Every structure is written in C-alpha cells, then in structure tokens.
Amino acid sequence: MRRLRRLPVWIGKGVLIVLLAEIVLQLTGRLYYATHRHFLQPPSETAATADFVILFVGESTTAGDGAEDLRTGPFPAQLEVLLERRFPGMDFACVNLGLKGTTTPYLLNKLKTDLDAYRPDLVVIQAGNNLPAPHFMLVPVVRLGKWTWEDVVFFLQRSRIYRFCRLVGEILWRGGSERLYKAVNDNEDIPRRMRSLLVHHSVADIRNMVRTARRQGVKPVLCNYFESRSNPFLARLAAELDVPLCDNQLVFGRLLKRGEARNYLSADGWHPNTAGYRLIAENLLRTLIEKGLLPRTPPRSGAA
C-alpha cells in the first residue's frame, strides 16, 4: 500500500525529469543557432572587397552535408571556383550561410540582417525540405477546432526528448548512416492535415524571402534538391514570382535513368557527395548564365 501511495510521486518526478530534459535540449538548440550566427558565419569582410557577391541561404544541402571536405566540397564553394575560372580577373565571393537542420522561419527572420551585412548581388535560396517545428503551427491548429489522436502523437514525436531518444536508439541498435539520417529526417510520418499546414507556412516564408531580397535590391534565385517533397512547390513559387529556378531534380533524373545516381550521393542516401555538389554548382552556373544574372562589365575593383 505504501508503494502504491508513492506511485503518483514517482510519476510526477518522472514527468518533471522529462520536462527538464526537453527544456535543456530546446536551449541547446537555441545555443547552436546563436553560436553559428555570431561565431561561425563567414565574416562580412569576405564580401566587402569582392567584385561580385552571391549569398547562399538554406539547410544542410546548402551547408554541404555529405561532402568529404566542408571547406571545398559544398556547391557554393565549388561555384566560386567555376566562376573565377570563367571570369578571370574578377573576384567572386560565394558566401555560404547554409545551416544544417534549420527551417524557413529562421532563414526568413535573419535574411534582412544578412543582406545588410554582406550586400550581395544575388541571393540563392535553397529551402523547404525541412518543415517548420510544430510550435510555429500551434495557433492555426488550435483554431481548426478538434484535435485528433494523430495530431497529439505527431506533436509528441516532434519533441526534442523523443527525437533524441530515437536517435540514440538508431545509433545503438540499428546503426548505419542511412538509417540514422532517416531517424532525424522524419517528415514521412507527419499527418496529412499537419503537413499541409507546415508546407503552407514554408511556402509563405520562401515567398517573403524573395520579396525581402527584391526590396533590398538583390536578385533572388531559387534552387531545388535532387529529390524532395518541396521541389513541386519551389517550382510553383518560381513561376508565380518570376524567379529563376536552378532545377537540380532534372539533373538527378538523368542520373537515375542512367543508373548512376548512387555515385553522386553520400552514405546517407539523400545528401549529395562532393561529386553531387559539383553537379549542382555546374547546373547553377548554367542557370545564372542563361538568365543573364552574371556580370558583363569589367570588375568594380578595376582588377586586370
């Protein structure tokens, strides 16, 4: 009987421990973003002396996840090399602000600050694969009325403590980078109604990113992925807003037909490897040339 009386106390302690762990993990995530923003972003001086500046904002694919060398492997770094070979005597700066795991609300929130800091000629936006965290959608979901059990399970699954435990479980019991990626990239199990709301939110954010760039006098370019559920709405946005689209899905489709796709993917089976990022850089260069977005005049710095 004494043990039964103490059961609510133990349950309460367990709930408190879980809540504290969730708070710690949430704060750790905020610290990760703050550290990247204030200490790991490329200094604005890297763009100050360049003749032509391209700013890249996006998620893990923009950051170069899967490349063998994160300094030279991501497609912005490879594009910079291609540009300087094509335009000898000009100094290009391809500033990569890609951040693994980020979502469109964060990118939109800091875009104006980044545009002011780097003053780019172009901004390449590759976003939408990572859907926003559920707390961005709490108000619209509540306004819809009744919650389903599926919605409740979804919110629990999106908690940091659940995802952390799932990640540890994948590492300990299943192993393998491909399975590990699927553990953290769990957009597949989102309920249909919730997915619709999150996609709507992402689309609105990217639309506002394009408008913010234009208000700042910067030409925007959208860039899709080899494979992603976001590719269709990125194509629709490009047509709606009359924005150039670098269509990487088209390039990847050709590789699939030839049975060569695996040669251009990293171990997780989704992110490109260095060779895959080279294809994206080459495709983006073609897009920029076709759309007349690259300089046709001598460099502003007067370099010979």
Could you tell me if residue 219 is inside a domain?
yes
**Of 137, 106, 67, nearest to 277 (Cα)?**
67
More confident position, 196 or 221: 221
pTM: 0.78
pLDDT given for residue 139 in this prediction: 41
pLDDT given for residue 275 in this prediction: 97
Q: What's 263's domain CATH number?
A: 3.40.50.1110
Could you tell me if residue 31 is inside a domain?
yes
pLDDT tens digits along 255-300: 999 999 999 999 989 999 999 999 999 999 999 999 999 987 554 4
Give the range of the structural domain holding residue 222, as residue numbers without chain letter: 17-133+199-290
Could you tell me if residue 185 is inside a domain?
no
Mean pLDDT across the chain, nearest whole number? 82
Could you tell me if residue 249 is inside a domain?
yes
Could you tell me if residue 160 is inside a domain?
no
Domain tally for the chain?
Answer: 1
Backbone angles phi and psi of 35, in degrees to 5: -65, -45
Q: What percent of the chain has pLDDT over 90?
A: 53
pLDDT given for residue 111 in this prediction: 96
Could you tell me if residue 253 is inside a domain?
yes
Query: CA-CA distance, 194 to 153, in Å (whole number)?
Result: 12
CA 126, 61, 123, 248 torsion-angle sign: negative
Query: CA-CA distance, 127 to 143, in Å (whole number)?
Result: 27
pLDDT tens digits along 90-138: 999 999 999 988 899 989 999 999 999 999 999 999 999 987 765 544 4
Q: Which amino acid is at 278?
A: R
pLDDT tens digits along 133-189: 655 444 444 444 556 666 666 666 667 677 677 667 666 665 554 444 444 454 555
Could you tell me if residue 100 is inside a domain?
yes
Could you tell me if residue 167 is inside a domain?
no
